[in-house]
Amino acid sequence: MHARAGAIALCLLASPAAAPVSGQGPGRTWITDVTIVSPERLDQVGRGSVLVENGRIARVDRNAETRAPAGATVVSGHGQFLIPGLIDSHVHLASIPGMDFSREAANAEIVREYLVQLPRSYLYFGYTTLVDLAVVKPEVLADFRKAPLHPDLFDCGESLPVANGYPMSFAPPALRFKVFPNFIYDSGQASSIPAEYRPEDHTPAADVARVKQAGGICVKTYYEHGFGRDRHLPVMSAETFADVRRAATATGLVLMVHANSFEAQRFAEDGGADVIAHGMWNWGDLDRRQDLPGEITALLDRIAANRTGYQPTMQVIEGLRVYFDPQYLGMPAIPKVVPPAMLMWFKSPEGAWFKSEIADSAMTDSAERAGIDRGPLRRGRQVVAYLAKKDASFLFGTDTPSSPTYGNLPGLNGYLEMQHLHEAGLTLGQIFRAATISNARAFKIDSAYGTIEPGKIANLVLLRRSPLESVEAYDSISMVWVHGRAIARDSLVALATP
């Protein structure tokens, strides 16, 4: 990861943004003399102009000679590349990087500043649409949507863990049903579920109905036995999952399953999940195999053939490794996305608390920490490489932050995820589609997002370099438009006291 720090620094230093149009309202804008890179027409990348009116794309002109329409603010994209705003379909906005609940409470001012910066950090790296997978603090999402500048935000409502299963198991028994009130009742565990919760209110159908009613576009559930000290957590049966599937289909919601093992991904695929929300870094009994076992490739073939959405979330593992990387917190991009007080706290002895928790976790075994066998990372990569060759339906999702790690920072985490995807074998075209049109289609928001086409919301990103030539292009942003409003990238950096 440190090898990349230098490149990031150079890009940031060399980016004087086109300041004059910054802050301009959502009137009429003519973005001209620009190379249009839109994922539905990657065979027709060329110079042209885009007219933005009242927050929407009004016209896409692929003739470079057309004149500016009357009354439009003209933005020259000379030598630059215009892409649709990026979509990250796996974030957790209310989770604070580097902190657990008690540390959040003890550092309220740091958290407040961070949450003010949060939408800006996503925009800083070109993310103009997000999907939050598990609403635990609706007020954080409400504040996010009220921020002066923010990405468009969709969510999966409250997630559906099995009673006492992952991730509600992380909360103390007295608290977990309050934090995850949309859990799935399990009659086998009746004695471990508070009496105030009635089984009929916690069927898959009732839970999915609550998500739909709250305005969710997706349903998130889990198949996870756990790791570290809690590795025997209850998981749902195939019959229960079939009920979730039926309810999601009936309500038109996208069904996402947290699954990071061979067993879990097979469960998700067998049950007809729409999206597998993680890479496959646990192979169970096959963990020690250095090659990709035939049992696994058979499953991956089905995932690719069925066009099941696949989010590799490689930064989940990378984001744990940073605690063993003394140079990580020195990355020049970090002060761009988190306020100074938070970065100072990360660097304090208290800020490193999560390191010892990771040491206990099965996600990084001791051999891996010693750099001998990077097990989970290796296995995740092998699976991604195989799926890339099959041109599986990759969906770009970062799982930011995936744990209380400071290794998954908003916006920056997406940029790092793209680098890992590319190293693992995804082509630049696959990465670009995953973060634009594929995400838009999978989450059924493609009538408004994902391409540069007339009628769509004018969420756009202007890059100095082509995203079809290097991943580093995603760190060469000069301008971002949200609903037609132009924002110079430099104006989005974290401030001392917003």
- The footprint of Zn ion (CB under 5 A) covers 399
111 exposed, middle or buried (CB, 10 Å; 0-12, 13-18, 19+)? middle
Q: Does the CA dihedral 326-332-338-344 come out positive or negative?
A: positive
Give the DSSP letter of residue 162: B
For residue 38, the number of C-alpha atoms closer than 13 Å in the C-beta half-sphere is: 24
For residues 452 and 40, is the Cβ–Cβ distance under 8 A? no
CB-wise, 51 or 133, nearer to Zn ion? 133
CB of 46 to Zn ion, least distance (A): 38
CB-wise, 402 or 438, nearer to Zn ion? 402
CB-wise, 37 or 254, nearer to Zn ion? 254
Angle at 396 (CA atoms; ends 395, 401), nearest 5 degrees: 130
CB of 392 to Zn ion, least distance (A): 20
CB of 404 to Zn ion, least distance (A): 13
Count helices and strands (H / E) in the chain: 18, 15
CB-wise, 39 or 401, nearer to Zn ion? 401
CB-wise, 186 or 399, nearer to Zn ion? 399
CB-wise, 282 or 451, nearer to Zn ion? 282
The answer for residues whose C-beta is within 8 angstroms of residue 45's C-beta and 6 or more apart is 35, 36, 37, 468
CB of 399 to Zn ion, least distance (A): 4
Question: Could you tell me the two tokens for 199?
Answer: 């089984």
3-state secondary structure of 333: coil
CB-wise, 28 or 92, nearer to Zn ion? 92
CB of 131 to Zn ion, least distance (A): 10
Q: What is the chain's alpha carbon radius of gyration, rounded to the nearest angstrom?
A: 22
CB of 183 to Zn ion, least distance (A): 17
Question: Could you tell me the two tokens for 106?
Answer: 């003890």
**H/E element holding 319?**
helix 315-321
Distance CA 136, CA 45 (A): 42
- What is the residue type of 384? V
CB of 287 to Zn ion, least distance (A): 22
| Residue closest to Zn ion (Cβ) | 399
Distance CA 345, CA 108 (A): 12
CB of 162 to Zn ion, least distance (A): 16
CB-wise, 208 or 277, nearer to Zn ion? 277
Torsion of CA 493, 415, 264, 95, to 10 degrees: -10
CB-wise, 129 or 476, nearer to Zn ion? 129
Quickly list H helices, 390-474. Answer: 412-424, 428-434, 437-442
CB of 372 to Zn ion, least distance (A): 29
Which phi and psi (to 5°) does residue 219 adopt? -120, 135
CB of 85 to Zn ion, least distance (A): 21
The answer for residues whose C-beta is within 8 angstroms of residue 426's C-beta and 6 or more apart is 384, 388, 394, 434
| Residue given tokens 């928001």 in the structure block | 445
Question: Could you tell me the two tokens for 368?
Answer: 């891996």
CB-wise, 269 or 399, nearer to Zn ion? 399
Determine if the peptide bond prior to 410 is cis (ω within 30°).
Answer: no
Question: Could you tell me the two tokens for 353?
Answer: 């608390």
CB-wise, 399 or 417, nearer to Zn ion? 399
Distance CA 416, CA 409 (A): 10
CB of 408 to Zn ion, least distance (A): 10
